[in-house]
Amino acid sequence: MDPQEARRLIPILPAQQTSGYIYGEDHSPGPSSPPHRSRKRVLVAVACEGCRRKKAKCDGRKPTCSRCFSKSEACSYETPSVPVAVQKKYDILLVENQQYRELFDAIKKKPECEAQEIFNRLRSSDQPLAVLETVRQAEVLPPKPSTNTWDSDPRLAFFDQKAFESSVIQVPAKPWTTVAEDGIVSELITDFFTWDNSYMFPVLDRITFVDEMRTGDDTEVKWCSPLLVNAICAKRCLMVERGKQFGVMTGRNLSESFLAEAKSHFESEQGRPSIPTVQGLLLIYLTMAATGKDRAGLIYRLTAYEMLKQLRLEARYKAAKNDVPPQTQDMMLTSKTLWGIFLLESRIAYFYNRPSTVPPPQVPKPFLSILTFTHKGNLDVLDRPWKDSSDLVPRPPGVLAAACLFSELLYEIMQYLTTSRFRRGTSRGAEPYPSNVFPKDMPTDIPFGVPYSSTVKDLCIQHCRHDTEIIGSFIKKWPTNLMIAHQLYISMQTLVPILDDTAAQDLFTKNCRMAQLSSGSVRLSGILLQATQAFVWAMEKYIPESARQHLEGWTQETVEKDSPLSFALPPRGEVKEVLTSDESDQECSIWNLGTLIEKWAMMSMDESRSSS
């Protein structure tokens, strides 16, 4: 090989030594060379603007990175954006800060009495912004009733003590209500279980309710609540004589005070459904209806029925039945609530000549029929011995079970009359019969009975005579109530088409006179007399001379006006906004709708004031 060519060759590297053992060679480890360490890469969170623009490596030093410093270039960094969660929290705190400032300004600028009331509500509430919302919705914040009057006036203390001693059911007023003391509250609760809960609205179990009320703890109860207690007292104050005497002594309407506190408790519950709330809302409606404001109270009645659907009490009854052992007490109380509400709604629907809004419950009836009633002697509605000569209210065996059967029959009849598209004597496809329209020429001379010994007119007169005698004997012995006013109106309504008959005229006059007498306790009776007079005119009938003095005295000035129709009709856009709100807030939709209607009511009342 040419020496010059050999110099151009690259020497070959020695072969790598294998790890296998070679005999005769020393394989002892020699001094190890230091291991090669890779240089750790420095991560930079944010590169400067110049390095990012030129896509150069930046070490992120501030205020000037190494590259910009070596190049003598301007070095600047972009301001980092605030995270979304932090920004959202900042916005919430900013809004809350503005709301607290608004609340502070309200306390500062309102009159002394209203500012003190705002302060009192702030102390008793753990949600100050809810108090602010109340201030926004009301021009004048009504103060809560004070109980200092009872301590300062010895007459009221004596008055209350007498009421407590005469009450069969004695319960504490605190913490259920701040309107009255133990005596008045005990008398009103006794009166409620004597009348309303015995026949008209039998939804409560007296023993369970009274036991829970006597505990004095409104946090650990299930069938009693401050809203329900105030609603009961507001309803019975309209009928109890001692409640009227209290108003004369203090110049304060006791029923309105109880009603205002019941509404305040409903506001604080924020639409949470419960059985006592449903019962209390229906009693609020009955109280307002008794004073002639059934249109304004309609929202409470409809809200109660909506809550009743949410509670799903029929499923609750089945769950209690399937427990081991079965929860018989819960089953009985749930069934009583369902059937009691159905009985009440049946009477209301019958009064308005419409089908019941609530269908018959699909659970067994809690009331004993006369066939299964165990005879325990003559007892009154509060389980006291009863005699015909006493003023106690008797408890006929099986009367509530019979009322349930009658209400079911009435429900089926009204459903047929208003929804059936085939009626006897008409062609298929005819329109349903309008239940609130009466023909002017009713066929009252049709033979009726087997054999045909009487007519429809004779049957109506006989029925109304029987009702008139019962109502007359009732109001001679006991105070009148809402059921009596309803029955008088139905009797007068039945007699109007047959006022050409002399017997019908006499009965009509008696009913008008009793309705006028009952108007002192039940304001609704006056409105019903007006309605009866309008019905007579619509039927083109002649008002008997003896009945005119009872009808024509009720002018527009003597009857308290109900709220306008717009009270229950908020703007369509606002209703749509509530109903199409976020699904997560559906449980409060009823409360939001109630608040919306309250706002609309205030707007409509303001408009009526300005127009007048």
- What was the pLDDT predicted at 84? 66
Query: Across residues 530-559, what is the average pLDDT?
Result: 77
Q: Are 230 and 258 in contact (CB under 8 A)?
A: yes
- What was the pLDDT predicted at 36? 52
Q: Confidence class of residue 608 from pLDDT cuts 50, 70 and 90?
A: very low
Which of the 8 DSSP states describes residue 496? Answer: G
- What was the pLDDT predicted at 379? 78
Q: Please give the Cα distance from 350 to 373 (Å, whole number).
A: 28
Cis amide bond preceding 63, omega within 30: yes
pLDDT at 21 over 50: no
pLDDT at 19 over 90: no
Q: Please give the Cα distance from 598 to 400 (Å, whole number).
A: 36
- What was the pLDDT predicted at 331? 93
Among 58-72, 95-109, 597-611, the least confident range: 597-611
Sequential DSSP letters for 509-573: HHHHHHHHHHTTT-THHHHHHHHHHHHHHHTT-PPPHHHHHHHTT--TTTSPPPPPGGGG---HH
pLDDT at 213 over 90: yes
- Over the stretch 256-303, which tens digit does the pLDDT of each residue have? 999 999 998 998 887 889 999 999 999 999 999 888 788 888 889 989
Instruction: Name which residue leads in pLDDT, 359 or 480.
Output: 359
Query: Across residues 388-406, what is the average pLDDT?
Result: 80
Query: Across residues 320-325, what is the average pLDDT?
Result: 90
Chain CA centroid to CA 275, Å: 10
Among 52-61, 74-83, 313-322, 547-556, the least confident range: 547-556
- What was the pLDDT predicted at 571? 45
pLDDT at 420 over 50: yes
Beta bridge partners of 455: 447
- What was the pLDDT predicted at 452? 57
Query: Across residues 117-130, what is the average pLDDT?
Result: 75
Query: Across residues 199-204, what is the average pLDDT?
Result: 89
Burial code (b: 16+ CB inside 10 Å, e: under 16) for 174-199 equals eebbbbbbbbbbbbbbbbbbbbbbbb
Q: What H or E segment, with its residue span, contains residue 454? A: strand 454-455
- Over the stretch 24-71, which tens digit does the pLDDT of each residue have? 444 444 444 455 555 556 667 778 888 888 888 888 888 889 889 888
Q: Confidence class of residue 566 from pLDDT cuts 50, 70 and 90?
A: very low
Instruction: Name which residue leads in pLDDT, 444 or 311.
Output: 311
Say whether 77 sits in a helix, a strand or coil.
coil
For residue 89, how many C-alpha atoms fall within 13 Å in the half-sphere facing its CB? 5
- Over the stretch 136-181, which tens digit does the pLDDT of each residue have? 665 444 444 444 455 566 778 888 888 999 899 999 999 999 988 8
User: Of the spans 82-96, 155-169, 311-325, which averages the highest pLDDT?
Assistant: 311-325
- What was the pLDDT predicted at 34? 52
Q: Confidence class of residue 22 from pLDDT cuts 50, 70 and 90?
A: very low
Residue type, 405: L
Q: What H or E segment, with its residue span, contains residue 199? A: none
Q: Confidence class of residue 586 from pLDDT cuts 50, 70 and 90?
A: very low
pLDDT at 109 over 60: yes
- Over the stretch 458-516, which tens digit does the pLDDT of each residue have? 888 888 999 899 888 888 877 777 778 888 888 888 898 888 889 999 999 999 999 88
Query: Across residues 9-36, what is the average pLDDT?
Result: 49
Percent of the chain with pLDDT over 70: 71
Q: Confidence class of residue 562 from pLDDT cuts 50, 70 and 90?
A: low
Two tokens, residue 309:
């659907």
- What was the pLDDT predicted at 587? 45
Instruction: Calculate the average pLDDT of the chain.
Output: 76
